Structure 1
């Protein structure tokens, strides 16, 4: 298996990839003062003690021959199947519908290989692959700046995982294959005008009527652009029930009569870029009838289902993506001049650029750790919200440092002034808003405290995962 353990390298670097080299090379140039300042440590594979002078630790995986052979297969397949002109604008809100359809086609092709959800059970349309193979797939897609799936699919990622735990056999057979093969896209519907961080306070109602439930109310900050085929949503099914004992989850066809989707006019950027950066919508439900067979986990058992959903949304799923903004910053700063010299030669700018690199690298390592723990079924506690909290708050710090480095160039996408193809301007907006989706920074701290038994005698257990 790939060894997720510290090893040592001679110089600072990221994973071996052409697009990662600008930041790595520039960072080596910027940090001569780090030489000889690391403490001798022992690696987990050869028990060799490294003394000062071994400048950095390398937290990257070690790969087996089987993984490398599989990597060649994946790389070759992606070369043949990823359109060379696949648009990836700085602001994903600029993605057209036709471009979005290209992502969906790619998703279905990945699904046909079992690579869209590599570790999901093969009997339900997933790949049934080990973490070793999943890592390779995600790393190779990352070379194209793509994720799995290659489009925003919050309800598929979180709803699919929840159905694996809480759905019955018929529901798993009915709902999971379309998700895991890319035939449907699913949005999650959680937040309401009066229920955001306090998810247990949702008011949207689902009332049993014969073989159906009738849903009325609204959800906000939903989805992204270009629509979805189904909604994964939490409702209140007992208006008089006790808190946490009156909620239920449903999978709802997005084209059901009585559903209206209205885009929201927001500061945030994006479209297909993720929860923190996307066009968001208000979704209205007016006497929407949903079959009772679409109720997942049982009536009024929704909070138990929510613990699985939220466990992943709060960061326990992990990620192995690197932050390409860092590479772009090094490239752009190297191309700008101040007083006749490259901006990157300014000592103050060097300090700021290293700060950005360190923030991004710590966040990446948290994500890598959680990815390994999740997919190797390690017991998790505070690790998810820890990663989420750091990612959210470090984004603000990175945005501030980038603004100091680039000044007004970081605040505009006007071609007459912009030197970053719009990427820095988008980040300045999205880093502010990213504090909130998926649980605010404050909520992440509350969860960490509960998981560490701070202020209570018993540690809170993490949500169930398949």
Structure 2
């Protein structure tokens, strides 16, 4: 193992930790400007829905990488990570404290790191070989590498065990060939966590293996997928005889389904755990819209909004509890499916209620503040019902693993 250099270790004492975090942020970020809150004040952008173009996205990635390296070198980049792999070894409380403090500062968006830091990274900790952990973990959390998740295929989305991308045994490793789809951030990623079939003769779930793939290999071809809202955050990825060494198998050959469950649990927890400035938060903006159009006393509107607000608060608390459990070394549980389902239901409900209030204003750009911007949210809402597993899959998991109901009948195809 090479020598890891995680940088200074922040203090354990909460008051000293807070002072250290504030000192770092004072030196490397600007205090957040007072948020303009209210209808018609400031930007009418929303935290959910819109996507930057590719050029703007790469600019944001560069800014995020620059800040992340400063953050990591100061000891705040991976607070809860294992010390032996470059983490800070702190408990979840320190991470929560830092996230509270950083809300008072303007820092670059770290959207490009979500998959690596919250989905792939924890999977490497749980299943990676020492070589993989040594080579990638510090680099991922410092921003030197960006990771993506190569799971879904044209014929294997909700039925993830149906993947057909294959890896064939060769001297020292595997040759990978196949196609993946709906891969967020593949166009700027350095490595990918990929589920492949390595034993066609084994059972559907037993013949799978998880690999770490070099996204810069000449056999990797990344192509953007344009969505109906104009965004290109997703990609399809083609792999042709890409070599992966044995050391880059997560777990053992045939453990792919177990590793995938760890990854998906992390993903579903992450979906609901997001903070947005009050001024661009979709639920806060919805409340302002209801007031602006004089509907605060409408009982139907009030009831619909109350359900949305309650779900959002519940999602945040459940996601925070799940994050604390993961930071303490726990495994993702079925609560991740609850979080994911509630989040997709809530974003859909927000779009529907906004449409009910705005009517044609939502789909016709008249220039009126706070109206057409909701079209992005409405058009992107279906993707939230698919990412991380469809709503139907989430309901099956909840019914079987939480309620103890019998599994669906299995039929031979």
1:125 and 1:181 in contact (8 A); partners too: no
Partner of 2:310: 358
Higher Cα Rg, which structure: 1
Tell me how far apart the structure 1 counterparts of residues 305 and 391 of structure 2 sit (CA, whole Å): 24
Pair 327,379 (structure 1): closer, same or farther in 2 beyond 3 Å: same
Q: Which of residues 137, 140, 150 is equivalent to 2:98?
A: 137
Q: Which of residues 238, 252, 265 is equivalent to 1:311?
A: 265
Distance apart, 1:292 and its partner CA: 2.3
Q: Which of residues 54, 63, 71 is equivalent to 2:18?
A: 71
Between 1:317-326 and 1:212-221, the stretch displaced more is 317-326
Pair 89,327 (structure 1): closer, same or farther in 2 beyond 3 Å: closer
Tell me how far apart the structure 2 counterparts of residues 100 and 89 of structure 1 sit (CA, whole Å): 20
SS in 1 for 2:193: strand
Partner of 2:9: none
SS in 1 for 2:257: helix
Distance apart, 1:226 and its partner CA: 4.9
SS in 2 for 1:97: helix
Partner of 1:110: 71
SS in 1 for 2:81: coil
Tell me how far apart the structure 2 counterparts of residues 378 and 211 of structure 1 sit (CA, whole Å): 33
Scaled by the length of structure 2, the TM-score of the pair is 0.81
Tell me how far apart the structure 1 counterparts of residues 392 and 123 of structure 2 sit (CA, whole Å): 25
Between 1:324-333 and 1:313-322, the stretch displaced more is 313-322
Q: Which of residues 367, 370, 387 is equivalent to 1:419?
A: 370
SS in 2 for 1:359: helix
SS in 1 for 2:210: strand
Tell me how far apart the structure 2 counterparts of residues 89 and 97 of structure 1 sit (CA, whole Å): 20
Tell me how far apart the structure 1 counterparts of residues 19 and 288 of structure 2 sit (CA, whole Å): 29
Tell me how far apart the structure 1 counterparts of residues 267 and 287 of structure 2 sit (CA, whole Å): 31
Tell me how far apart the structure 2 counterparts of residues 382 and 97 of structure 1 sit (CA, whole Å): 35
Tell me how far apart the structure 2 counterparts of residues 204 and 254 of structure 1 sit (CA, whole Å): 15
Distance apart, 1:281 and its partner CA: 0.4
2:76 and 2:88 in contact (8 A); partners too: yes
2:185 and 2:235 in contact (8 A); partners too: yes
Q: Which of residues 219, 223, 227 is equivalent to 2:188?
A: 227
Tell me how far apart the structure 1 counterparts of residues 230 and 87 of structure 2 sit (CA, whole Å): 31
SS in 2 for 1:215: strand
Pair 380,266 (structure 1): closer, same or farther in 2 beyond 3 Å: closer
Pair 317,373 (structure 1): closer, same or farther in 2 beyond 3 Å: farther
Partner of 1:29: none
Tell me how far apart the structure 2 counterparts of residues 292 and 218 of structure 1 sit (CA, whole Å): 21
Aligned pairs, how many?
379
Unmatched 5+ residue regions in structure 1?
A: 1-64, 271-277, 458-466
CA RMSD in angstroms comes to 3.2
Partner of 2:214: 253
Are positions 1:397 and 2:344 aligned together?
no
SS in 1 for 2:123: helix
2:131 and 2:247 in contact (8 A); partners too: no
Unmatched 5+ residue regions in structure 2?
A: 1-11, 34-42, 408-413
Alignment of 1:158-173 (within 5 A): 158-173=119-134
Partner of 2:401: 451
Partner of 1:430: 380
RCO higher in 1 or 2 (8 Å CA, sep ≥ 6)? Answer: 2
